[in-house]
Amino acid sequence: MLTKGGCPKNMLSIRDALEALEGRWKLLILFSLQAGAKRFKEISKEVNGITDKTLSKELKILEMNRLVKREVYDTFPPTVEYTITAHGKSLEKVMEELHYWGLAHRKEIMGK
């Protein structure tokens, strides 16, 4: 295991990842975009509990980190859609492991 032994160099990359994904919302937003491009209101509806202000701020940070792309279509009125980038999609394994661990954690905490 690469992470065994608490090697400081590995801690640095985990820190990089945690900083880019900080908070409880970014991965949930990316998860909701995995199913396809979405408009602001659609994301806001899917990611239960997020306020519009927070979603707007989080989308900007995700865009800055090249995880999400914002596209404006020349319709009337203009349509804005958010899509997950290839780099955002590369988080799939992280999300999958978090999903499995989340299930195990619920069992550990609630099931005993």
Given the rule CB under 8 A, which residues bind its own copies? 1-6, 8, 10-20, 22-24, 27-28, 31-35, 46, 65-66, 87, 90-106, 108-109
For the chain, count helices (H), then strands (E). Answer: 6, 2
- Pick between residue 78 and residue 110 the one whose CB is nearest to its own copies: 110
- Pick between residue 36 and residue 80 the one whose CB is nearest to its own copies: 36
Residues 6 or more apart from 88 whose CB is under 8 A from it? 30, 33, 62, 66, 67, 68
Q: Residue 52 Cβ, how far from its own copies at the closest point, in Å?
A: 19
- Pick between residue 18 and residue 72 the one whose CB is nearest to its own copies: 18
Sign of the Cα torsion 81, 85, 91, 93 reads positive
What residue has token string 């990611």?
47
- Pick between residue 21 and residue 74 the one whose CB is nearest to its own copies: 21
Q: Distance between CA 101 and CA 80 in Å, rounded? A: 34
User: Is the preceding omega at residue 77 within 30 degrees of 0, hence cis?
Assistant: yes
Q: Residue 56 Cβ, how far from its own copies at the closest point, in Å?
A: 20
Q: Residue 74 Cβ, how far from its own copies at the closest point, in Å?
A: 27
